[in-house]
Structure 1
């Protein structure tokens, strides 16, 4: 019948609740004790109808002889709903083909080796277990041998140890939380997922596996990692659809969100139109080479905990700032901004800006194919990364250093200085535009070569060559509108145009490259203090500036008044000797060195003295001449 009493305590014998019956008020406690002191006794509750009760608890004592047992038998297709308002434990057996539903804000601890098979549902509060069986095989489990484990709310707390893999979980809706208390424990869930927000707590490891489909399953879940480690280890069933997680709600300090299977290059992304937030935790790329998702905001660490190359792929769909640090870890990490991966194109998403404001030291390549990557600090751009820019790189007022620069995009200096060449590499040319109207500067360092071929460079703060080689190879000045200073250790060359003045302060200037002749034109004035003019000649009877002739350096004026001692002209090439060539090795055509000056030049530029040396260097002691 519809009983209304307010609690049930069973200390001996058997109670059977028939279909339509009840155990009193649904808020009343159910206590099942088996405490026989001498001979063991069996206490049994048979539930043949769906029953709701308040808190479930019970104590099983140890008799002098025999065994005390407490059993709840739930009939097939019937449910025992426990509205747990307090924190209690039940150590007896739960058997039968029915199911358990745990609700209420309290914590229920089940410690018996239960065999019921109708499934378990947690909607509220906490359900504590220390035993889970592997998959659906019979074994030692607090939640029965079979049947789904559905969590739509509350916290399922696993206090056991070891490694367990379960295909019984249903995390398809709501806000389930999984807590794994021991740092040595690991739970892998390989079953069903849906539009749920899963929160991981506790020191242990939770792995989310199973298959990924475009809709449903993994592609709809959101995750939050408050403690311990969560691993996303899905398997993609169709590479055309690669969404794995709808949102990353948060990764808290000390927590780790890790991608599964090292080197698994598909199905590793968060849906690009959604969110990825970190509050000081760690995102471990785990050597996965395709890890696309939205811009990450917040703080924390991004790295690869495994050896090998990983790529952090970002869809720039909204303006976000990440103040954390991107580092290599045990592997190598690269960064890519793009609007396409695999068969998925997100061209309709806005071209937004991702701002980095931490200290980034990763060594992989930075590829900018979409949107804008902006610096929010002076250590935002990794000095160890090669930057391939076909979209936009912006300093946003922060001076930065990068490894090298290629591509055809835009580098916006603003009023800051970009230092290039820290990786000592000599990559392909940068054909894009370097812009600034606020005094932005370019500095070349390292031992490699930076080649600029773009026509749209307008930066006005000047260029300094401190190391390696800078080749200006565009007819409209790829070095902007400012002056170029070449210090000791640096070389300025190319076959293009330099709009500003050139100051040679201990470095080297040349036309073309060390291996090929060319013509370098400067619209401004050259001021040579100390340094070297590297002059290449291929054929004394050839054409100035041509491939079959010799280097040609053009400028509107030359000031050599600051030369304190010796200025060196270094000659390279092996031309045939001609009748008007000087002696030396290699010989050179004296007329090729004559600087033509306007008739009004004062004083006129002319030779004072030239001496051919065996090492093919010419030392010149002069003023107002070349």
Structure 2
């Protein structure tokens, strides 16, 4: 055994091998060699100074202190019990055992590295740094005051005291677990994760930049700085409280809730998926992503601002207000019960549930659409100047007050389910601005044999006298005076408490004793407007007033203006249809009666069946909708054909007029003859029927060609576009050049004409090849 006594300082520098142990009873024993103290235990009742590097495995007991000096790295690996504390004055002291530093306090003025797991309860002070290394979990539970910062390079460092990591910055490149409450204002950086565990409420107030994400497994994690949670995703399985303002774009998932507190404005911009709901207890929470608030319910006791578009179906309750901002269209579809006001400051807010707008007052400064079957109930509805409030077909409104300010618009959609009154105000109605009526064509003269007077609707009813009046009446966005295809009269009735609308279709004006003479011209001047007619339009020539100044024959229809006219009924008028402007949409194959069509604008056929009316003119024909429509007439229109959906069948080679065809769906040619219209687009061409059809254009369509019957003759090497050919009948190639479309199917290929044609594709057709003229070159062994 070696005993150091006396109050002086003794240095041992040799590589000693004695085994009996070392006792320090006085002064200071300095080991400048890691082997200086042999291999036995050390009883330190004074001061042991280790001015060396390496691994010191001897156990250290006693009442004395241990000092680490020098710039080297020393590892203490023993289970030490000394009680006098540890001083790190230079270099690095590594503890590879949680008991390596005994039970006393640690003064760290250099680097303390803890490469171990377990619970480290020694208090740490000083100007130095603490490093957590290794893959184990280490817990610091002391109220530490060291100032040099903390680095986590491996494993997990758990702080069960808010002061456990001292006052310096934390570099977290592994896992930092905070199982404590209080305010943690140390700045956290690094690539690692932060975990909040335990039941307490912990506040992160630093401007943190860590990137490994945040996990909240228990209690409440309060972020009092918008950057407190770094830049990684947040998994919230307990409570995340945001007591801050700014833009928080970290993605939030998990089963927990999010709480917005404080009086600042916080924006959530991520597509979040957390399910525990959202509580707004103070300030303003702005969602500029429709998924920003996850999937749970929202308890709003302050301000919720929705600056986004899409469908927001989270249920909203509470005493707070809801603000719709931004220029997008947002749909509220939940059964909401919030009692605060609703403000629409930008874009469009659509309510598709009768309770979507809660029970409070509504201040509409932009666009609001009530679009649910049933009654909306609110306190007050005010439409400000420049705003538009629209009542959807089948919707009604019960309000305490209704206020339409100057330059505002109230739009009411009528249909067969319209209930009188559309709006009821128990206290006060104040009118100004514009009343716009849509859907009139859905309810006018639904029975063409009727001889009833004009249709009358009660749009607004008040328990008190209505103040003011609308300054303008429009139909589908057009001035009612210009919409001469209907007669419309809106006015406050004799009681002063109801606003009524009377309407009639001018087509039947003479029969209905309207003040306007009957005529068949639909002039829609608003390019963005549309007018749908469900009424059956039949010949009325027998009932026309002979003194009418319109000169209408009572059997023909004229579409004028840049807007869209939609005919939905099975009409029987016989005098033909003229389209001189805008778009005429037929949603029934009989919508245009039995006469010819002169199309000098756009005819859209959104229907199926056989359309045999002859079509002429300079306009375009559009096939829309997913049905199959057959054009059988010898048509001469020149504006081209667009197939946007479904199947368009031409059973006459002249059915598509003389213009180009843009085919983005299916074009079926069930005819023979020479079809020289150019065909482009992404769609498919089908040749059906028994005849021989010649395609002579230089076509660019990409969807492929199918021959299901007869013969398809290509007199141009580009006639079949760029897609594959499925030949289950006869493909005749009367052309020259290089034909590289792949050919499959059970049909035959015929080479005719005197030119030289090259087949270069790897073809699989099985019906054989006939060369009746010219030269057929195969540059692929599978070409024939």
Same-fold call, TM cutoff 0.5: yes
- Structure 2 equivalent of residue 302 of structure 1: none
Paired position in structure 1 for 2:323: 420
Question: 1:175 maps to which residue?
Answer: 142
2:123 and 2:270 map into 1 onto residues whose CA distance is: 41
| Comparing 484-493 and 14-23, the one that deviates more | 14-23
Which of 132, 155, 167 aligns to 1:190? It is 155
The residue number in structure 2 matching 1:206 is 172
TM-score, length basis structure 1: 0.60
Deviation readout 1:569-619 (Å, 9 max, x if unpaired): 13369xxxxxxxx9966722x2x646695789899998999999955589x
Task: Identify the match of residue 212 of structure 2 among 238, 243, 260.
Answer: 260
Q: Given the superposition, is the C-alpha separation of residues 451 and 101 from structure 1 closer, same or farther in structure 2, using an over 3 Å criterion?
A: same
Who is 1:364 aligned against?
270
RMSD between aligned alpha carbons?
5.6
- 1:228 to 2:187 alignment: yes
Aligned partner of residue 330 in structure 2, secondary structure: coil
C-alpha offsets along residues 343-378 of structure 1, whole Å, 9 cap, x if unaligned? xxx8xxxx997634322133336788546613323x
Q: Following TM superposition, by how much is the alpha carbon of 1:88 offset from its aligned partner in structure 2, in angstroms?
A: 7.2
Compute the displacement of 1:444 (Å): 1.6
What TM-score do you get using the length of structure 2 for normalisation?
0.50
1:290 aligns with 2:229: no
* Correspondence for 2:635: none
Distance, in Å, in 2 between the alignment partners of 1:111 and 1:603 is 90
| Aligned partner of 2:473 among 555, 561, 568 | 568
Question: Contact between 2:280 and 2:304, CA under 8 Å: does it hold in 1?
Answer: no
Deviation at 1:155, TM superposition (A): 3.2
> Aligned equivalents of 2:499 and 2:116: distance in 1?
100
Choose which of 32, 55, 58 in structure 1 pairs with 2:30: 32
Q: CA deviation at 1:446?
A: 0.9
Q: Distance in 2 between matches of 1:479 and 1:200?
A: 57
1:467 matched residue in structure 2 = 366
Q: Deviations over 1:450-498 (max 9, x none)?
A: 31523497635x322110223153533x341334435323223223221
The match for 1:64 is none
Distance 1:552 1:600, change over 3 A: closer
Residues 1:521 and 2:422 are matched in the alignment? yes
Query: Which residue in 2 is equivalent to 1:454?
Result: 354
Query: Contact 2:362 / 2:381 at 8 angstroms: preserved in 1?
Result: yes
Separation of aligned partners in 1, 2:346 and 2:465? 28
Determine the structure 2 residue equivalent to 1:381: 285
Q: 1:419 to 1:30 in 2, by over 3 A?
A: same
Partner of 1:66: none
Corresponding residue for residue 303 of structure 1: none
User: 1:532 and 1:179, CA in 2 relative to 1: closer, same or farther beyond 3 A?
Assistant: farther
Deviation at 1:171, TM superposition (A): 0.8
**Equivalent residues, number:** 493
Picking from 437, 446, 451, the partner of 1:542 is 446
Q: Distance in 2 between matches of 1:483 and 1:115?
A: 71
Cα–Cα, structure 1 residues 507 and 383, in superposed 2: closer, same or farther, change >3 Å? farther
Shift of 1:48: 0.6
Matches within 5 A, 1:294-309: 294-296=239-241
Residue of 215, 221, 224 corresponding to 1:269: 215
Secondary structure of the 2:9 match is: strand
Match of 1:240 in 2: none
1:154 to 113, 116, 123: 123
State the distance in 2 between where 1:199 and 1:113 align: 17
How much does 1:324 deviate?
2.0
**Cα 1:95/1:421, change in 2 over 3 Å:** closer
Shift of 1:49: 1.7
> In 2 relative to 1, CA 209–5 (structure 1 residues): closer, same or farther, beyond 3 Å?
same
CA distance in 1, matches of 2:274, 2:75: 59
In structure 1, what is the equivalent of residue 23 of structure 2? Answer: 22
- 1:442 maps to 342
CA contact (8 A) 2:75 2:93 kept: no
Query: Offset at 1:29?
Result: 4.8
Shift, 1:406, TM fit = 2.9
Aligned mates of 1:4, 1:550 — CA distance in 2: 116
How far apart are the structure 2 equivalents of 1:102 and 1:275? 39
Contact 2:246-2:266 at 8 Å conserved across structures: yes
Partners in 1 of 2:501 and 2:156 — Cα distance? Answer: 85
Contact 1:458–1:480 (8 Å) recurs in 2 = yes
1:241-269, Cα deviation, whole Å (9 max, x unpaired):
xx8743687556545373516xxxxxx42
Q: Measure how far apart 1:205 and its partner are.
A: 1.2
Is the alpha carbon distance of 1:156 and 1:281 closer, same or farther for their aligned partners in structure 2, counting shifts above 3 Å? farther
Contact 2:365 2:386 in 1 (8 A): yes
The DSSP-based 3-state class of the residue aligned with 1:46 is coil
In the other structure, the counterpart of 2:660 is none
Instruction: Name structure 1 gaps, 5 residues minimum.
Output: 35-40, 60-69, 133-142, 211-217, 236-242, 262-267, 297-321, 574-581, 619-626
CA distance in 2, matches of 1:606, 1:550: 5
Summarize deviations over 1:262-285 as a string: whole Å, max 9, x none: xxxxxx42223x242456684225
SS at match of 2:441: coil
SS, match of residue 499 in structure 1: strand
Aligned-pair distance for 1:286? 2.2
Number of the residue aligned with 2:434 = 531
Q: Does 2:410 align with 1:509? A: yes
Distance 1:553 1:609, change over 3 A: same
Counterparts of 1:96 and 1:361, CA distance in 2: 50
Q: 1:400 to 1:31 in 2, by over 3 A?
A: same
Query: What is the DSSP-based 3-state SS (H/G/I as helix, E as strand, rest coil) of the residue aligned with 1:538?
Result: helix
Tell me the distance in 2 between the aligned counterparts of 1:113 and 1:187.
Answer: 16
CA distance in 2, matches of 1:7, 1:277: 54
| Structure 2 Cα separation of the partners of residues 511 and 289 of structure 1 | 45
What is the 5 A alignment of 1:75-90? Answer: 78-79=59-60, 83-84=64-65, 89-90=69-70
Cα displacement string for residues 203-253 of structure 1 (whole angstroms, at most 9, x for unaligned residues): 45133349xxxxxxx697889754332558369xxxxxxx87436875565
CA–CA separation in structure 1 for the residues paired with 2:128 and 2:342 = 58
Going from structure 1 to structure 2, the CA distance change for 1:526 and 1:221 (only over 3 Å counts) comes to: closer
Cα separation, 2, equivalents of 1:488 and 1:189: 61
